[in-house]
Chains A and B, each alone.
Chain A
């Protein structure tokens, strides 16, 4: 009884926090799976989403979650333009060129955020961000529950889009065989632009819920990029379900690691798990 009640809180928190990681990792996984680009700026896009939300919240008093009505189209549009006019051109040179461009974008976003909002830590502080409730002996902050619910929602919408629409099927086809996709009359560069744009729309969602859950600074993006990479490694590329399982596993390793070895060691435990999975099943739990 004692051990169970002790573990109930880290397990619940790990699963719920994993939801946030899932939303962050889905965009990274989509771009890597379809375009084969390693978008090292992905974490910075997420943090940019947090800052845009912060600006709307403090500037015109819009609720962070409501602000997605603006945030999603803005990042979607930015993503489309950047893939179409910058990354696609780099792609034609070599895939390595896209990596360098993404590094550049990462630096630009970080410096832009520093100029606009200073290097100091910010947060999306709303009344409900501090709200929490108890289920049995487990104490659950409301935003953690929201993180998990939104992960399910994003996964559901992404899956429906990929399965039901022509564009979604084209994205899937291009990720499985680019050459054959050409022969189906698919304009792959157009598809890449949409895939990147959709990943950025998901980054906007991730940015809001990250900001509600944690404080952030202009350089926070890198640590969330690394977490997202860990999630993708765990779950396997190109699988929504895999990303979900990966996110849960990462969240649990972090909170249970913290429980058993102390908060300072929690990320170490999570990354050691990533390394072990990488050594034992390099394609990830659900990898193709």
Chain B
């Protein structure tokens, strides 16, 4: 079953300067899975995603993707290998148009040849973006901006998508729309790591989950198991 594993972190330690923020993180993600990372604010979820994206360097331990060691690559190399992050707060390019934002998503050399096809599939997923093609990104509504951020992430032709708080600050209808697209993304064979503060929602969408506390993984398992734990952990997450 080892060849089934897409991403594997082994005993990863991460520091901000001299301050340790992640301790002994080990996790693995299989092809086609949706894995939820759950935890309170400041528990290290976003740091974990940025470590996988190589935005932050790993001090100790190793990260493997498709069996290759990617621990100390540059961020742009990680993207080229097929790991795409949709960052917290969307981080779309505010003064570029919707189309330009999407096009820059397929900047990496592996994604460029498939640009037109990716663009078509993003527009199928989020038809509203097609209507807004030439609109400057900062003028979109919050929900549309989030769709653009997810669409831009898809443009890089990823095998693994890291989604950071994609429902934050959005209304329930838009959240449903975005989670519907998540199912479509999975149907296309893309593996997903989902970071959410909304525990109920992410346990509903995911296959497995890891629970983080103060920079450590304290619990992991199938969502069914975790849901039972959820009752115990209610106090922590307030869900």
Chain A interface residues toward B at CB < 8 A: 166, 169-170, 172-173, 176-177, 179-188, 288
Q: Which of B80, B104, B111, B112 contacts A173 (CB 8 A)?
A: B104
A182 to B50, CA, bound (A): 11
Chain B interface residues toward A at CB < 8 A: 53, 55, 74-76, 79-80, 84-85, 87, 91-96, 100, 103-105, 107-108, 111-112, 152, 156
Look across to chain A and name the residue whose beta carbon is closest to the beta carbon of B78.
A185
Across-interface contacts of A181 in B (CB, < 8 A): 104
Contact B75 A183 (CB under 8 A): yes
Output the least CB separation between B96 and chain A (Å). 6
Across-interface contacts of B55 in A (CB, < 8 A): 179, 182-183
Q: Which of A169, A180, A183, A187 contacts B100 (CB 8 A)?
A: A169
The answer to whether residues A176 and B156 also contact, given A170-B107, A184-B104 and a CB cut-off of 8 A, is: no
- Secondary structure class of chain A's binding surface, majority of residues: helix
Q: Which of B92, B111, B112 contacts A180 (CB 8 A)?
A: B92
Across-interface contacts of B92 in A (CB, < 8 A): 180
Given contacts A183-B85, A184-B152, 18 further A-B contacts (CB under 8 A): A166-B103, A169-B96, A170-B107, A180-B92, A181-B104, A182-B75, A183-B55, A183-B75, A183-B79, A183-B84, A184-B79, A184-B104, A184-B105, A184-B108, A185-B79, A185-B80, A188-B76, A288-B95
Across-interface contacts of A185 in B (CB, < 8 A): 75-76, 79-80, 107-108, 111, 156
Across-interface contacts of A188 in B (CB, < 8 A): 76
Contact A180 B91 (CB under 8 A): yes
Can you identify 5 A-B contacts, CB atoms within 8 angstroms? Answer: A177-B94, A179-B55, A183-B85, A184-B152, A186-B76
Give the tally of cross-chain contacts (CB within 8 A): 66
Contact A172 B79 (CB under 8 A): no
Output the least CB separation between A190 and chain B (Å). 8
Output the least CB separation between A243 and chain B (Å). 16
Across-interface contacts of A180 in B (CB, < 8 A): 87, 91-93
Contact A169 B87 (CB under 8 A): no
Across-interface contacts of A183 in B (CB, < 8 A): 53, 55, 75, 79, 84-85, 87, 91
Contact A177 B79 (CB under 8 A): no
Across-interface contacts of B94 in A (CB, < 8 A): 176-177
